[in-house]
Amino acid sequence: MNQKTNSHLIDSAEAEVGYGQLFGILLRRWPWILAVFAAVMSVTAIKAATAPDTFQSSLQLQVEPNYQSKGPGGETDFTDTTVQVDTATQLTLMRSSQLLEKAVNLLRPQYQNISVQELQSSMALTPVVEGKVETKIFQVDYTDTDPAKSQKVLQALQKVYQNYNREQQKLRLTKGLSFIDEQLPQVQNQLEASEKALEKFRQTHKLVDPQAEANAVNTTLNAIKQEEQSIRSKIQELQARNLGLQQQLASTPRYALLTSRLSESNRYQSLLSELQTTEQSLLQQRLRFTDASPVVQQLLEQRQKQRQQLGEAARNILGKNAGQVDLSETGILRAGNLAPLDINVTNQLVTTQIELIGLKAQQQALVKREQQLRGQLDYFLSLMVEYNRIEPKVTIHRSTLEQLQKARQDLSLELARGGFDWQVVEEPQMGWKTGPNTKQTLLLGTVVGLMLGGGAAFAREMLDSGVRSADDLKRSGLPLLGSIPELRRDEPRPGIASLPLRLANRATSFKSEVIDWSPFRAAVDLLYKNLEEPDRDRSRVLAITSALAGEGKSTLAVGLAMSASRLQQRVLVIDANLHHPSLHNWFNLSNEQGLTTLLKSDNPALDLSIIQQINSHDRISILTTGPIPPDHTSLLSSRRLGEILEKLEHIYDLVILDTPPILGLVDVVLMGSFGCRVLMLARLGQINRSQLTQAVANLGKIDVIGLVANGVDTPSDRQTPYKTV
């Protein structure tokens, strides 16, 4: 198959059943619907006519829970009046055979034949719903043919239900009290044990709450960390300042301190001043005299003496630190000769050094304190594990003890008070008439009858394997190219299925009685339009076949030829049904020569004289089958057939092959193997689904362009368009 056909296969496989198909099934199977509907309505009418009068009485009870609940903390709560009623559980208990048996025993003196099964089938027990809120009120309805009995049954049920509630609540409260009395000593012992363990823990470690201690230590530790951060910032600031002062003095802090002491000493400064005076005089005398002059010699001796005195004074002032200062002849002059600015800078440098020393000492103290606090914090944290294991037990046991004591007090009061009684909201009255409701019964019967009738119709349709509609053909996977209408009963012209027999030896009758029938002509014209192929390279040979015999292949072949001739096309119709040839009888033609004659001939040139004409315009030609040989399969499978068809394609605009059925025969497959297009016709109501599936499968390897539905029941004035292939 070509690509377009494959796309149609996918579309058909994905198609769903539509409303039109369902409506068609209902119309086709209307006798089944009518039969089932009539049977159901007959039974319904009889039941409505013979049904006795029924009476109904009602009882309403405010139902309290008769089970224990769990509080928000998981504790057992035996006295909570706000507990929601478990509707499903409560209804099941109230319908139980055990309770109904008690009501039956109360009613037996008056109604000896009453039973539990009768109560269960005649009573209705439902919760009352106000708006969308389900209340605690339950309504019991009882229906019976005796109005007094319906009332008395509910009165008995009222008594049974109220007694049942009292018994259950007393049992529940008693069990709850016993449970509490059993649990109290255990909880008290557990509380005492946990309190002793907590007290021992506190005495052993000499603290009340390690968590509080740990929090306090942690707070102090955080404060120390902040102080350390502040000190580190100050140290960095002083270090930067110290470095700047050193660079300004071009000296170390220690050397600057020592030299500043010399600069501040009066004795040292006096000697230094004398030495400087001598140096000045010596310089002046050397301008006048040589070094050998007595005056210069005297000044040199005096300078040497003053230098020795200045060195001694420096060593006395500096003491053991004198070795750290340059006391040479040139160094001693610079050491004690600092300017006021240098002295100030030196003092600042000294002050900075002192502050740095103090801050570093403070930092070391904080680090040591931090280590101590961390040790304490680790200690408290280790204790918290044990404390957190002991302290919650005390809290839980104390809370449980308080709850048990409160519950015991409440249960004792509830036992003394008698529990929560089920209050009667609505007393049962004498039963009022509720039936029979003839209209409701008949309406229900109508609905049930239509539903069962529809179900029967669809069941019959599922069991029917026949192809009844065009939608059934679409499921084959082949595209539906057109439909041929069924001859309506009010039409004067013959139907398609009867045409071959009625047209024997009457060529002109075919045109007048069939082609002139407007629904048939319109359908075939539309089909031919769909078959037109713009690709001229595709084969002009069209083989028409069907799954079974008698589905209208020959009629469709001639009808398509007529449609093509009206469009000025030259058409050749070949009767290729070598099993049951019919075209020569339809048109009263000779069958002495035909297709088999050409197949047996060895002459490459075709003998066109054996092709016969059926109209005056010579646009439609007929090639009959000719003599039927014993083994015609070998003729159809020979290459001679392909050569004949190829030559005829060049002579005619359209070559139509009227072929035998597909099932049981191989003729169509052999003809299709020579490249011709194959159009399959299927008559609705004659072919079933399995035959259709098998026929499509047999044509799987040849060029099948699509399906045509024959016998479609559609209005004559309406045609359904189909997709062109």
pLDDT of 73 > 80? The answer is no
Q: What pLDDT is stored for residue 384 in this prediction?
A: 79
Whether residue 497 sits in one domain with residue 447: no
Q: What pLDDT is stored for residue 715 in this prediction?
A: 54
Q: What is the pLDDT of residues 193-231, one digit of tens each?
A: 888 887 887 788 777 788 888 888 888 888 888 888 888
Domain edge (last residue) among 336, 364, 382 = 382
Residue 690 CA to residue 706 CA, distance in Å, equals 18
Cα Rg of the chain, angstroms: 62
Closest CA to 426 of 153, 167, 162, 158: 158
Burial 82-114 (b: 16+ CB within 10 A, else e): ebebeeeebbebbeeeebbebbbebbeeebeeb
pTM: 0.42
> At 512, is the pLDDT very low, low, confident or very high (cuts 50, 70, 90)?
very low
Whether residue 492 sits in one domain with residue 372: no
Residue owning tokens 């309505």 = 41
Please give the single-letter amino acid code of residue 716: S
Whether residue 448 sits in one domain with residue 315: no
Q: How large is the average pLDDT for residues 26-35?
A: 78
> At 577, is the pLDDT very low, low, confident or very high (cuts 50, 70, 90)?
very high
Q: What pLDDT is stored for residue 21 in this prediction?
A: 65
Domain edge (last residue) among 382, 402, 420 = 382
Evaluate whether residue 599 is within a structural domain. yes
Whether residue 662 sits in one domain with residue 643: yes
Q: What is the CATH number of the domain that holds 661?
A: 3.40.50.300
Q: Which two tokens stand for residue 541?
A: 């040979």
Residue 650 burial class via C-beta count within 10 angstroms: exposed 0-12, middle 13-18, buried 19 and up: exposed
Evaluate whether residue 644 is within a structural domain. yes
Closest CA to 532 of 260, 363, 713, 725: 725
Evaluate whether residue 226 is within a structural domain. yes
What range does the domain containing 35 cover?
3-50+437-463
Whether residue 338 sits in one domain with residue 481: no
Q: Among residues of the chain, what percentage have pLDDT more than 90?
A: 6
Closest CA to 672 of 693, 698, 649: 698
Evaluate whether residue 334 is within a structural domain. yes
Evaluate whether residue 390 is within a structural domain. no
Evaluate whether residue 529 is within a structural domain. yes
Q: What pLDDT is stored for residue 2 in this prediction?
A: 43
Q: How large is the average pLDDT for residues 528-557?
A: 81
Whether residue 501 sits in one domain with residue 458: no
Whether residue 490 sits in one domain with residue 454: no
Q: What pLDDT is stored for residue 237 in this prediction?
A: 83
> At 572, is the pLDDT very low, low, confident or very high (cuts 50, 70, 90)?
very high
Evaluate whether residue 499 is within a structural domain. yes
Whether residue 516 sits in one domain with residue 451: no
Q: What is the pLDDT of residues 325-348, one digit of tens each?
A: 556 555 555 555 555 555 666 667
Distance of CA 651 to the CA centre of its chain: 64
Q: How many separate domains does the chain show?
A: 3
- Of 70 and 131, more confident: 131
Whether residue 686 sits in one domain with residue 566: yes
Evaluate whether residue 62 is within a structural domain. no
Residue 715 CA to residue 491 CA, distance in Å, equals 12
- Of 708 and 14, more confident: 708
> At 82, is the pLDDT very low, low, confident or very high (cuts 50, 70, 90)?
very low
Whether residue 560 sits in one domain with residue 531: yes
Whether residue 311 sits in one domain with residue 240: yes
Q: What pLDDT is stored for residue 337 in this prediction?
A: 54
Q: What is the pLDDT of residues 249-289, one digit of tens each?
A: 555 655 666 566 666 667 776 777 777 787 778 777 777 78
CA distances from 406 to 64, 397, 412 (A): 22, 14, 10
- Of 110 and 22, more confident: 110
Whether residue 548 sits in one domain with residue 445: no
Q: What pLDDT is stored for residue 65 in this prediction?
A: 62
Residues ≥6 apart with Cβ < 8 Å to 518: 716
The per-residue pLDDT of the chain, averaged, comes to 77
